[in-house]
Chains A and B, each alone.
Chain A
Amino acid sequence: MTVEATGIHRAFGGVLALRDASFTARPGEIHALAGENGAGKSTLIKVLCGVLRADAGTVTVSGRVATAFQELSLLPDLTVAENLLLTAPPRGRLGLVRRSHLAAEASRLLSLYGVSEIDPRSPARDLAVSQKQVVELVRVLALEPDVVFLDEPTAALAQREVDWLAGHMRRLRDGGACVVFTSHRWREIERLADRVTVFRNGTHVATRERLTEDEAITLMTGRTLDATYPDVSAIEVGENALTVTGLTSGRLRDVSFDLRKGEILGVGGLAGQGQRDLFLTLFGARKPVAGQLSVGRSRISARRQPPDDGRVVARRAFGAVARRFGVHRTGERWSLRGPKDAIRAGIAYVPEDRKAEGLLLPLSIRDNIALTTLTRRSRAGFIRHQAENAAISDVTGKLAIGAGRATSRAAGELSGGNQQKTVMARWLLTDADVFLLYDVTRGVDAATKHDIYHLIADLARNGKAILFYSSETEEIAHLCHRVLVLREGRIAAELAGPVGDAEEIVAASIRETADA
């Protein structure tokens, strides 16, 4: 079997994704494909596995080929079982699919690959991102392929699942298969890859057997980065911005904590311990069973206190009225009936799945940024253009979104990292005080990650309170003042940060698990 591509060109619209790109991988090796977002890795993989046709160049790939796509190819309305067995469902007499056997067959397949926590009967759309990724990987592994392409297979996975995948990748390699994968986590590349190929701007830069992270970053970006993580210990932490008491919601059980101004509070633990429930509940997107949430006192008295005589002064015709009636206040507490109330209370949520939860891809960058705060810059329903332009150029400048690109371009044309920045820019305009950042660096390239780290630190420096979750424990370890380790929905440990060493957080989550 061979995997060989030479002189590949491929353009999308007017944008050249691959430019005279070449790539070769051998049987019996794990070959990492590294590069920034937009370097052409995903396009190359799609060309190699035949989903996309190259505009020019030759591709030779032989053997049984299987691909796990970055954007995942699961069909949301079908069950896990149907997804896994779509190509070879169990059949009875007359060649008809035995629907009653699907689930049993699928759960046998899942356990064959060591997966036990996924119900084969549940529709794919109901799975957590990491579970979807696992199902996608099982679908690929089950084909027992000779050539495997894994595009960002670990981006959504927790450490335990990464180890699981690593085991299977090695097994396939030792069986003589050719395994090609991409990752933005250097440690995985270092651990797994026999050889590394670096791509930049749609073309091959280097293929090496040994490569240090610094060398790799230099090759990928064409520049050298200074210290990867900003120093957060120097940031001054102020008064309480958010107090959570006895929160029970979804997986969460009786969670209480304070989040202070200027603080970056990490939420760690193994995947699926209630982190997602925590973020969604705080944003009002999920109804809690019990618990209270209060937003900083000074903010309420300074900006939301109604006049003493109880009448509403209509300073801004629409905004003020909406604010007065939309949010209910009992003492210091706010009742969140939905994201709308959370936004009014000054809470911003940046999700990991930008496309599904945050960004409207066909709309322009500026529309995406402006959307949540249109009322502030409009008069009688008409948008005040000057104010709009000023606000947008202010935040895009701050974030360096897609340097030099017009903000009238569709958000869908941006790379993952720039999409993430666009979502964050939107929230910057809302003057939110509390930022809920949920795995914001997922699938983002090294240079953009770096920008995002500094952006987060800047937010903290400006007195914003930040709740931070990342599937990369490394980030939590370096970027947070404090870390809450969640286990089975409870706070199992609280570590003072910056922890510095990811192992410490991992140990805390595992140690607690062992005790249970």
Chain B
Amino acid sequence: MRDLQDRLGYLVLIATAVAYFAVYTTSLGRPPGSFDYLAILNTTMPLALVAIGQSLVVLTGGIDLSVGGVVSVCVAVTAATGGAPGWILVVLLLGAAAGLVNGLIVAFGRIAPILTTLATLSIYTGAALWVLPVPGGSIMPEVRAVLSNPNIPTALGWLALAVAGWWVLRRTRFGMRVYAVGSDETSARAVGIPVERVKTAVYALSGLCSALAGVFYVSTTTAGDANAGAPFILTSIASVVVGGVAFTGGRGSAMGAVAGAVALTLVIDVLFFAGIDPLYQSLFQGLFLVVAVLLGTAAALLARRRTT
């Protein structure tokens, strides 16, 4: 049952991939080609990155609503400066700093994560509008070629790097502590885990992930918009849920959340090729979310009944 919950993200991904393949082939009369896969990859990257950060926070038992604001700010700054490498570094630091502020307030100010990040979401979104009042800006073609090249799957390399990063993180002392804090904060404190520092760090990392997502977003869309981050709030949380990360913390993995992110992106394509009016997109996305989670829960229940 535990295993099934942990693998929910992958199962859902496989199911949506099959659906995507089927719907695409029936509607266009040919299977999807390399161009389509590349497009999916490049559009998923920002969400996948935000989902990694979000899952780290959720693993400690928290939630980060401010990802939307951080992505917006980072999109705004990247687009406004044309994404010069020096500025990208600044953007990453900015994102990490924004996350750090969240972490410090949550961990040391002891204010509920949902309140803290709701407030900072508003602040960061406001800052994004100040940087980039009207949509626009640009990205250097060289940067675009390296990050989300429309012709070569460079993003695949970055995704692999993110996966490797998670693999390493899981094997550090910090990685173990993240799970420990989410599992039982009081006990974690009692066995000598610096709970506040772990919490601060996950929010900072979430900020960093959102910043990376912002850069990728500008690279994919070649322009910036100060409201670009808003959709990521719900979709990142949805990815985490579909990915099998427990909202109570302590269970799941960022890789599940990445699988969830890819699945959510595929669902939009499935809806498109199935000829469903984009007006109803969010309706069907929501239904998909509910069904995926319900199936996971039902399967877990069945498995538990069998073992006891």
Contacts and interface: CB of A to CB of B under 8 A. Distances in A.
Interface of A: 51, 67, 69, 71-78, 82, 86-87, 89, 95-99, 123, 139, 250, 286-287
A286 B308 CA distance: 8
Nearest to A250: B308
A424 to B, nearest CB: 27
A428 B23 CA distance: 61
Interface string B249-270: 1110000000000000000000
25 contacts: A69-B190, A73-B184, A73-B191, A76-B184, A77-B179, A77-B182, A77-B184, A77-B251, A78-B176, A78-B179, A78-B180, A78-B183, A86-B176, A86-B191, A86-B193, A96-B168, A96-B171, A96-B172, A97-B172, A97-B175, A97-B176, A98-B171, A123-B2, A250-B308, A287-B308
B183 A75 contact: yes
B64 to A, nearest CB: 20
Contacts of A76: 183-184, 250
Contacts of A139: 191
A280 to B, nearest CB: 9
B289 interface: no
A350 B22 CA distance: 54
Contacts of A89: 173, 176
Nearest to A89: B176
A75 B172 contact: no
B305 interface: yes
Given A86-B191, A287-B308, A75 B184 contact: yes
Contacts of A96: 168, 171-172
Contact of A51 (B170, B189, B250): B189
Contacts of A286: 308
A76 B171 CA distance: 19
A284 B182 CA distance: 31
Contact of B187 (A74, A95, A97, A287): A74
A133 to B, nearest CB: 14
Interface string B152-189: 00000000000000001011110110011011101111
A78 B188 CA distance: 11
A157 to B, nearest CB: 19
A74 B188 CA distance: 8
B183 A87 contact: no
B179 A75 contact: yes
A89 B172 CA distance: 9
Given A76-B184, A77-B179, A95-B172, 17 more contacts: A69-B190, A73-B187, A73-B191, A75-B180, A75-B183, A75-B184, A77-B182, A78-B176, A86-B193, A87-B192, A96-B168, A96-B171, A97-B171, A97-B172, A97-B175, A99-B170, A287-B308
Given A86-B180, A87-B192, A89-B176, A75 B251 contact: no
Nearest to B191: A73
Given A73-B187, A75-B187, A123-B2, A97 B173 contact: yes
Contacts of B308: 250, 286-287
Given A77-B179, A96-B168, A250-B308, A87 B191 contact: yes
A95 B176 CA distance: 13
A89 B249 CA distance: 21
B190 A73 contact: yes
Contacts of A86: 176, 180, 191, 193
B305 to A, nearest CB: 7
Interface string B221-254: 0000000000000000000000000100111000
